[in-house]
Amino acid sequence: MKSVGHTMLRALVLIALTVFVTTRSIAQGTNANPFYVDQGLDWTAAARADFYSRDQGSRLIALSRMQALKQRNGQPFLADGLSRLSTESCNSGQPSHRLSRSGPQDCQVVGMTCSACHTLQIEVNGKVYRVDGGPGFVDFYALLRDLDKAVGEVIASDSSFAPFAAAVLRSAVPDAIDVADLRLQVGGWYLRFHTLMHGARAARERLGVCRLDAVGMIFNRVSGLDIGPPPDFMIPENIKTADAPVRYPFLWNAPRQDKTQWPGFAKNGSGIVGLARNVGQVLGG
């Protein structure tokens, strides 16, 4: 299973996160409880919950920082749980089920789940259908662009960073040393994230809904951000335009295929190849 990342990215990563069917449904959204399409007796509510929430090692951004970010209209980044990009109704202030949360309660990190790209939701005559394992109508690059812009605007000046720091540090007047340390951390995160977005042209490409060059983004993430010399370990020239987008595959017959991944390079049944693919997903997401 892929992450958006799956790129961080997400990375990765997917993303997610945001399911689109039509412009009307995106703008209108829906609060209706979905009808889960029957996928057999083995696909239980417990299995579905695990699919929605299982931590696969993706680490995108600290939850407290994502919650402190703003949209360009001044609204909180998670004001609608990212449902502004989705046909799904989400809890305000919390990421959708397409994002995992890991770590202790007071320092959780957001990452991509398998369901980020592999859950389909559609609305027909006012009724909402959810198809677990289907190709998600997700514009993952939209999430990455929004995140890149939001963090970039936060660190642009002391005045823009101040309210962000107050929210993250949970203090109206945080200690100056804590603010400086936070700014150093966020600046380091942004340097790597923005380098990836800029090099892969993910911040500019409009590849469309339900399309992602996951393999390209994962390769960029691993070869461009992790194997260079200190202090930042980056090799920006290794990051190339991620311009080979494909539709997210459905998962129902994945275990029965001779090979997985659209390029057909991951042989099914090989533990070594499976491990390598999964490691790439985690590092890329």
Given a cut of 90, whether residue 191 has pLDDT beyond it is yes
- Report the pLDDT value the prediction gives residue 70, as an integer from 0 to 100: 93
Least confident of 125-129, 164-168, 216-220, 256-260: 256-260
Give the range with max mean pLDDT: 30-34, 133-137, 155-159, 197-201: 155-159
Integer CA distances (angstroms), 239 to 6, 30, 185, 198, 207, in order: 15, 39, 23, 9, 18
Given a cut of 90, whether residue 54 has pLDDT beyond it is no
Q: What is the largest CA-CA distance in the chain?
A: 59
| Element holding 176 (H helix, E strand) | helix 176-199
Domain locations in the chain as residue ranges: 8-284
Distance between CA atoms of residues 191 and 232, nearest Å: 9
- Report the pLDDT value the prediction gives residue 153, as an integer from 0 to 100: 97
Q: Which residue has the tokens 């949209």?
A: 71
Nearest to 65 by CA among 151, 153, 128, 131: 151
* pLDDT, mean of residues 45-50: 92
Q: Model confidence over 246-255: pLDDT tens digits?
A: 888 888 888 7
- Report the pLDDT value the prediction gives residue 16, as an integer from 0 to 100: 33
Answer left, alpha or beta for residue 115, where phi above 0 means left and psi between -120 and 50 means alpha.
alpha
* pLDDT, mean of residues 62-86: 82
- Report the pLDDT value the prediction gives residue 238, as an integer from 0 to 100: 96
Q: Which is higher by pLDDT, 69 or 95?
A: 69
Nearest to 226 by CA among 234, 236, 218: 234
pTM of the model: 0.78
